[in-house]
Amino acid sequence: MKKEIHISYQKKSSDLGKVQIPGSKSESNRALLINALCVRSGEIKNLSSARDTQLMSSLINSSETEIDVMDAGTVMRFLTTYFALTNQQKVMTGTARMQERPIKLLVDALQTLGVLIEYLNKDGYPPHKIVRFNSQLSNSVSIDGSISSQYLSALLMLAPTLEKGLILNVKNGATSRPYLLMTIELMKHFGVEVEIEGHRYKVKPSTYTFKKFTVEPDWSSASYWYSIFALSGAEQLELTGYRADSLQGDSALAQLMLPFGVKTTFGENGALLTKQEAHLPASIDFINNPDLAQTFAVICAALEHSCVFTGLHTLKIKETDRVLAIQQELQKFGADFVEEGEKWTVVPPSGNWMETEVFINTYHDHRMAMAFAPLACIMPSVTIESPEVVNKSYPSFWADLEKVGFKIV
């Protein structure tokens, strides 16, 4: 296992060529769960090569009594719900960091439905034991949607299997709502309708029927290539396989990057990135796209542009405290990320910061590694700690960088 890698880049061409990014982790994990609930399952094409998806695929049919999801938050939430409502007795556990990530809201909802779940260490946190689910006690659940949309998605995907169906009442709005809408569209693809009335979601008892499905490339991963394109001085880059009618919430990236001078045109082969005049934004709201925040923090700092971010309240309970991680790493080259209430301001660097070499800690977080890598476009060398963390979502990232002219040692 490599301890660190050194990245450098010398512009060789205005056309970066074509990049094939792996399938969406979010789409893949949802499709795998729904496929497991189909009367007859089938093949999901272009499944993500991400470690989280490989975990989901291997664990969902596991006969083991202890399920170790490692650091995969989506897998923990989805499989806790899946095993609970299909009455499978399991102990759910993960890494030390996973055992610090709250799951109480989801467990409370499952207990309302009639599932007996016991915490094995600290109340409200993994590890926990799914004891039994004999009968549905209620057809209605209320849950705070401001913490994670994954709780809502997990409950909705299992809802049609319940004998009384489910009415899901979401309090305080749904953070990352596009991910919830992705879930609902995927359920519809496999034959289950969700009735939406404001913040109320209703699913009747019904049956999933398998229908051919191909996973779109991952939009969250595309953000690193948009960053590279914006910082490298390239004139053209094609990201193959992307669709204008994407189910993924992070497809908003195409619009968010317009003010940064990156235009996206969709064609038969995917998304073509070209240059246009930049009009840098004063603020960006990430309430629906928190996974893009690290990428944009680096872009803003690299362009020496001050920008106010909002909608980041969920970042502190991700793979790491991403707010603190962004702040600490930006400070290494003279920038900063200042928190004031519900606003976070990127403070740009000054002076001769581009002439320095920087060492980036990744905090066991794949997005930290990939978000900061594009700095190599404008700095002599960027060193990334624990580069293998990208395996969580984009295992071929470093190899793809080399294909377009980056040197990695």
Over residues 59-81, the pLDDT tens digits come to 999 999 999 999 999 999 999 99
Active-site option among 68, 250, 291, 365: 291
Q: What is the average per-residue pLDDT within 185-207?
A: 97
- Report in angstroms the alpha-carbon separations of 391 from 54, 72, 172, 398: 10, 12, 34, 10
The reported pLDDT for the residue numbered 92 is 98
Does the pLDDT of residue 354 top 90, yes or no?
Answer: yes
Which option is the CATH number for 25-214: 3.40.50.300, 1.10.645.10, 3.40.50.12780, 3.65.10.10?
Answer: 3.65.10.10
- What tokens appear for 168 in the block? 């899901």
Domain ranges of the chain: 4-23+217-408, 25-214
Other Cβ atoms within 10 Å of 202 Cβ, number: 18
- What tokens appear for 313 in the block? 């309240």
For the chain, the farthest-separated pair of C-alpha atoms sits apart, in whole angstroms, at: 66
Alpha carbons 187 and 205: distance in angstroms, whole number = 13
Do the strands 4-9 and 270-275 form a parallel or antiparallel pair, or are they unpaired? unpaired
Q: Can 336 be counted among the known catalytic residues?
A: no
Alpha carbons 238 and 337: distance in angstroms, whole number = 31
Assess whether the region 4-23+217-408 and the region 25-214 belong to the same CATH fold.
Answer: yes
The reported pLDDT for the residue numbered 107 is 97
Q: Output b/e per residue, 72-108; b: 16+ Cβ within 10 A.
A: bbbbbbbbbbbbbbeebebbbbbbebbbebebebbbb
**CATH 3.90.420.10 is right for the domain spanning 4-23+217-408:** no
| pLDDT band, very low/low/confident/very high, at 318 (cuts 50, 70, 90) | low
How do residues 234-267 score in pLDDT, each as one tens digit? 999 999 999 999 999 899 999 999 999 999 999 9
* End-to-end alpha carbon distance in the chain: 14
Provide DSSP, 181-207: HHHHHHHHHTT---EEETTEEEE-S--
